[in-house]
Each structure stands twice: as C-alpha cells, then as structure tokens.
A = this chain, B = another copy of it.
Amino acid sequence: MTRPPGLRERKKLATRTALADAALRLCLERGVDGVTVEQVAHEAGVSLRTFFNYFSSKEEAVVAGDVATAEAFVRAFGERPADEPVLEALRRALVDILPEHVDRAKLEQLRLLRRTPTLLPAQLAAFHAQERALAGVVGERVGVDPAADLYPVMFAATVMASVRVVVTQWLDTGDQRPLADLVNVMIDQLDTGFRR
C-alpha cells in the first residue's frame, strides 16, 4: 500500500521544507514586505520558477508551519481512543500537540507574524483547510454524517476558531498562565455552551 518513500519523494519534501524555512526566516529578519520570492528561492537553493511549483504565493510558504500544526492536531485527535468522550479527546490532542508547535521560544516570531496584515488571510485559510477533515473525523467518532447533521461541521469550525483565538489571546495579552490552562478554560466553555 504505502511503500517506503523513494529518493524523489524525500527530495521533494526537503525542497518544500527548505522553502518554507527560508521564507519564514527571511520574513522574520526583514519583514514580510522586505522579502521577494526570488530571495526566498535563492536562499533555499532553487529557482524562482521552482518556488511556484511548491507554493502559489509567498504568504502560503510563510504559513506552511500553521498548516502543519493544523494537520498534526487533526491527526492527533483522530488517533485518540474511540471510547473517549469528544471533548476529552480534544483536550488530549491539543495538550499533546500545542507545546511542540507554539512554545515560548518562538513567541516573538509568532507575534511578529500575527502583526502582519498581509498574512492574515493565508493564516485563516491554513486552518480552514483542515476543517473538513476534522469534521469527517469527529463525524465518524460520534457516528453522524457531516452532510446531514450540523454537529460535525459546527464542531470543526468552532474548535478551529476557538484554538485560534485562544492562542492569539495568549500571545497578545502576554498571559502568564500555561497555554494548557487556557485550553482547559476553552474546553469548559465548549462543554457548558454559550448561554449566560
């Protein structure tokens, strides 16, 4: 079925990460607007043309990390035991994933990127891209068809949006609590509902 990846696949992945890394690093150094795609491509050791074989824009390359985060989260959620309640699986998946993807070392980087308006649409799209997958996974977990019932799609959209604002809040307010604490507050909120 899935055979071990050959040289070609490995090279492609290497190029892709080289491009994403170069884009992120250069943009952090000089600001997103101070970097051209050509410079990114050069830094990664490929031609301009090749850059566009991997990403359709500079922004997409810069937020490649966010895409990876979202994918990792959906995967982690999908791998939680099936008998675990949905919100508990959610909590575990987030606690497993977040520390690795948003730690205090990268804090300044994340703040800088979040302050760049150009990147916002791309960041939103990065998370949105995993909504359908998440809806599918959660639909399967609770035994419901995402096309017929609103629960899976609402769950997916709500969770993605909530994680986004919680992380944003944590970054912007310089909240001293561990991110995991905020995640717990968030999940309590999703559990309780929004009535007041």
Contacts and interface: CB of A to CB of B under 8 A. Distances in A.
A194 B120 contact: no
Contacts of A157: 161-162, 164-165
Interface in A165-188: 165-166, 168-169, 173, 182, 185-186
Given A120-B125, A125-B124, A162-B157, A193 B192 contact: yes
A151 B86 CA distance: 21
Given A121-B122, A154-B165, A193-B193, 15 more contacts: A85-B195, A120-B125, A131-B165, A147-B173, A150-B165, A150-B185, A150-B186, A151-B194, A154-B189, A158-B158, A158-B161, A158-B194, A190-B193, A192-B193, A193-B194
Interface of A: 85-87, 120-122, 124-125, 128, 131, 142, 147, 150-151, 153-158, 160-162, 164-166, 168-169, 173, 182, 185-186, 189-196
Stoichiometry, as copies per complex, reads: 2
Contacts of A86: 194-196
A166 B195 CA distance: 19
A195 to B, nearest CB: 5
Contact of A87 (B87, B162, B194): B194
Contacts of A182: 150
